[in-house]
Copies of this chain bind each other. A is one copy, B any other.
Amino acid sequence: MEKQFKVKALVSTRWSNLSQQNFIPQVSIDCVIFGYQNRQLKVLIPKLSYSGNFYVLPSGFILQDEDIDQAAQRILSERTSIDGIYLEQFQVFGKANRNSKEFINLLKDLNLEYIKQMDISAEELENNKDYDWFTKRFISIGYYALVDINRVIPQLSILDESIEWYDIHELPTLVMDHNEILEKALKALRKDIDEKLNIFNLLPEKFTIADVQEIYETVFERKYDRTNFQKKILEFNVLERLEKKFTGAANKAPYLYRFKDRT
């Protein structure tokens, strides 16, 4: 019942809007949304509400009057329900065989029984302008985002059955080349960290040096010497020391820090 509604949504609501809405054709934006929790680097991944276990990266298209960075922000806001997200464009994926036709047809085949029950025939579906629009070869701009996982309230799109955080070591198989895109995003993140000092975007506003070290160790999958790490981070001169953080534990309270706005 629920599923039937969603298939209909895929066919009529969404697809029949695509070619009418003022999107740039054949270009999409794919987002790798990183969050951090409990010594795990996580990625936010929706699962489509169709038979076949289709996992995808949160994606979208670019409006004609929209900067690509704005488009990425919009797509991210829709999925996370927060604004002003930190993001980096990291690569364009443009293989000639990069189209969703295969994936869409597989999805269609696996969901034929639902489609049959609807007022749209398989032929109608295939002749649909939006089917054509959507199954063309696509160039995809990859963005990665860093968010404070506690501020995110994951939002289902009309096509989703679920949207969840996955540890980067326990990722499901994603459609098309989305696993490769994710891998490239992770490499780009690792490369950027010390230069862009962007890792703090994974943390809440106030944090301890130990929190930062935890993230570094998770992202780079290695240990750091506590005392040297402290010095390294503070020597970046981008943190502002605040009050102490009293946890109730029987040990010295660490200082809290905040990322300095270097304007």
Binding site for B on A (CB under 8 A): 24-27, 62, 64-70, 89, 91-92, 94-96, 137, 139, 141
Contacts and interface: CB of A to CB of B under 8 A. Distances in A.
A173 to B, nearest CB: 24
A8 to B, nearest CB: 30
B141 A92 contact: yes
A66 B94 CA distance: 9
A139 B139 CA distance: 11
A64 B26 CA distance: 10
A64 B139 CA distance: 10
A96 B139 contact: no
A94 to B, nearest CB: 3
Given A26-B27, A139-B68, A92 B94 contact: no
Contact of A92 (B25, B92, B96): B92
Contacts of A137: 24, 64-65
A62 B27 contact: no
A193 to B, nearest CB: 14
A166 B37 CA distance: 51
A244 to B, nearest CB: 39
B139 A94 contact: no
A251 to B, nearest CB: 41
Contact of A62 (B25, B65, B66, B94): B94
